[in-house]
Amino acid sequence: MHHLETVEKAGRMKRYKVASSHLATLLRFCRRPEQSAVDPLAEGEEGDAEEL
């Protein structure tokens, strides 16, 4: 019985960690101004043009 409880708690912790990491990513993305979110795309396009 005790082992099952431990497994259940571990599963809950894992789910919590995954959810909190997703939340952190979302918050980081939302905090960014729109410009900085677009910048990496612009840089990537420039890089592709240089390669060609």
Average pLDDT over residues 25-32: 77
Contact predicate 41/34, CB 8 Å: no
Q: pLDDT tier at 3 (50, 70, 90 boundaries)?
A: confident
pLDDT at 52 over 60: no
The two structure tokens encoding residue 33: 């101004």
Q: Which residues lie closer than 8 Å to 37 by C-beta, 6 or more apart?
A: 29
Q: Give the predicted TM-score (pTM) of the model.
A: 0.39
Q: Which of 27, 26, 29, 47 is nearest to 38 (CA)?
A: 29
pLDDT at 43 over 80: no
User: Lowest-confidence range among 9-13, 23-27, 32-36?
Assistant: 32-36
